[in-house]
């Protein structure tokens, strides 16, 4: 299939006879500029097929092609958090025709309930952001008063961990995506403000490489202003033991008109950190891999130490109290402070 790759209503590339022709590289997705691998780029935009509710969603939509690329093509590869999309050669479609304006399939994507499946299966609408809502957790996009919010299922400990880290980051003055607690869900606001900027996940310029030093060096070339927020993100990952900072849950924001990198995206997706998988047994943080990796980064460039804020037990206890959930405050505080005290400052 031949098509044009768009940034809003600007043609940025052509995909013809399985070959990529970049027309405006500065406005194209970074991954295409670096690799020219259009099929892989499309796959990275697809809903996780292993999510049970994704299979129900595709069934309700009666998709004839249920593989990753087929799912993405069915909605012109549109997502909530950027302005990239595709259209057939010689098509009259414009961005206003394909961008999302409703959350009709949200309940089905989040809960997979019979009623939501039955209702969705009888809908005439097929345009949904859920087919390009990536990630392994059951989730959905909800449109509330003109703003998109991500709703993600969470148990008590996942919700505490996500919301506590958000509140701790805010207390420390970090750049954090906005989170709210819900009934069995954790909610986060679309930090692109309905694609007023383009979010590029780090995968687009790092592939699967999660190495701190290599990422730091790449960010220095892309946007030196990202360094401060990147180190602060890793600092939170370290003290709160976040094992899930892969290249799809952080990234950069780009100007939609120039392609310039504006900065690091706000810190998001911390629901597998801290106590989300149970209270850590290694409270003293001996041989802690998170601390070791972060200290290696600080040893590589000791100027980065200036981005590490002071942290006290009082700050942690204050934040735990503000979250308002029953947890073992003493254990959590000790775990975080032991990690903090082992960081080379």
Confidence of residue 265 (pLDDT cuts 50, 70, 90): very high
- Whether residue 177 contacts residue 267, with contact meaning beta carbons closer than 8 Å, is answered with yes
CA 262 to CA 199: how far, in whole Å?
10
| Cα separation values, 198 from 94, 190, 265, Å | 18, 12, 10
Cα distance from N-terminal residue to C-terminal residue, the chain:
55
Confidence of residue 319 (pLDDT cuts 50, 70, 90): very high
pLDDT at 121: 85
pLDDT at 7: 98
Instruction: Kindly state the percentage of the chain with pLDDT values over 90.
Output: 92
pLDDT at 195: 97
Could you give the angle at the alpha carbon of 177 between the alpha carbons of 134 and 330, nearest 5°?
105
Confidence of residue 14 (pLDDT cuts 50, 70, 90): very high
Residue 189 DSSP SS3: strand
**Core vs surface per residue 291-317: b (16+ CB within 10 A) or e:** bebbbebbeeeeebeebbeebeeebbe
Can you read off the two tokens belonging to residue 197? 């900027």
Cα dihedral 87, 92, 95, 100, rounded to 10, equals -80
pLDDT at 48: 92
CA quadruple 120, 121, 125, 126: dihedral positive or negative?
positive
Phi, psi (rounded to 5 degrees) for 69: -65, -40
Please provide the CATH number assigned to the domain covering 156-176+194-341: 1.10.1070.20
Can you read off the two tokens belonging to residue 27? 């406005």
pTM of this structure:
0.95
Is the pLDDT at 312 greater than 80? The verdict is yes
- Mean pLDDT (the chain) is 96
Average pLDDT, stretch 72-89? 97
Is the pLDDT at 64 greater than 90? The verdict is no
Phi, psi (rounded to 5 degrees) for 285: 65, 35
Is the pLDDT at 345 greater than 80? The verdict is no
Average pLDDT, stretch 319-338? 98
Confidence of residue 126 (pLDDT cuts 50, 70, 90): confident
pLDDT at 74: 93
Can you read off the two tokens belonging to residue 96? 């206003």
Burial class (CB in 10 A: 0-12, 13-18, 19+), 31: buried
Average pLDDT, stretch 290-317? 97
Confidence of residue 1 (pLDDT cuts 50, 70, 90): confident
Q: pLDDT (tens digit, 9 = 90+) per residue, 143-170?
A: 999 999 999 999 999 999 999 999 999 9
Among 147, 141, 37, 152, which residue's Cα sits nearest to residue 79?
141
Is the pLDDT at 125 greater than 80? The verdict is no
Is the pLDDT at 15 greater than 90? The verdict is yes
Side-chain half-sphere exposure of 285, counting CA atoms within 13 A? 23
Average pLDDT, stretch 272-294? 96
Q: Name the pairing type of β-strands 147-153 and 185-189.
A: antiparallel
pLDDT at 66: 78
For the chain, the structural domain boundaries read 3-153, 156-176+194-341
Residue 90 burial (CB count, 10 A): 7
Q: pLDDT (tens digit, 9 = 90+) per residue, 176-218?
A: 999 999 999 999 999 999 999 999 999 999 999 999 999 999 9
Average pLDDT, stretch 50-75? 90
pLDDT at 341: 97
Is the pLDDT at 124 greater than 80? The verdict is no
CA 173 to CA 245: how far, in whole Å?
20
Among 196, 176, 202, 198, which residue's Cα sits nearest to residue 188?
176
- Whether residue 23 contacts residue 12, with contact meaning beta carbons closer than 8 Å, is answered with yes
Is the pLDDT at 239 greater than 90? The verdict is yes
């Amino acid at each position: 299939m031949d098509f044009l790759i768009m940034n809003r209503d600007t043609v940025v590339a052509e995909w013809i006879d399985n070959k990529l022709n970049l027309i405006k590289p500065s406005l194209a997705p970074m991954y295409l500029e670096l690799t020219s691998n259009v099929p892989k780029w499309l796959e990275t935009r697809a809903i996780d097929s292993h999510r049970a509710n994704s299979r129900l969603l595709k069934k309700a939509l009666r998709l004839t092609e249920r593989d990753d690329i087929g799912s993405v093509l069915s909605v012109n590869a549109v997502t909530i958090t950027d302005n990239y999309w595709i259209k057939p050669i010689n098509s009259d479609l414009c961005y206003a025709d394909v961008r999302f304006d409703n959350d009709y399939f949200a309940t089905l994507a989040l809960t997979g309930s019979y009623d939501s499946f039955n209702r969705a299966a009888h809908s005439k609408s097929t345009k949904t952001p859920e087919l390009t809502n990536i990630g392994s957790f059951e989730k959905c996009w909800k449109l509330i008063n003109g703003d998109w919010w991500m709703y993600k299922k969470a148990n008590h400990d996942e919700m505490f961990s996500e919301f506590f880290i958000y509140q701790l980051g805010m207390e420390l003055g970090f750049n954090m995506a906005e989170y709210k607690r819900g009934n069995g869900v954790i909610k986060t606001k679309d930090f692109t403000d309905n694609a007023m900027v383009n979010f590029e996940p780090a995968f687009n310029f790092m592939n699967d490489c999660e190495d701190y030093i290599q990422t730091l060096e790449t960010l220095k070339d892309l946007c030196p202003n990202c360094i401060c927020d990147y180190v602060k993100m890793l600092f939170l990952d370290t003290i709160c033991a976040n094992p899930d900072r892969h290249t799809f849950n952080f990234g950069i924001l780009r100007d939609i008109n120039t392609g310039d990198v504006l900065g690091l995206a706000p810190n998001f997706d911390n629901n597998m950190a801290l106590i989300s998988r149970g209270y850590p047994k290694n409270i003293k943080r001996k041989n802690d891999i998170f601390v070791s990796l972060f200290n290696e980064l600080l040893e590589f460039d000791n100027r980065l130490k200036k981005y590490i804020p002071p942290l006290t037990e009082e700050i942690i206890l204050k934040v735990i109290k503000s979250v308002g959930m029953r947890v073992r405050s003493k254990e959590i505080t000790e775990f975080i402070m032991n990690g903090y005290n082992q960081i080379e400052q």
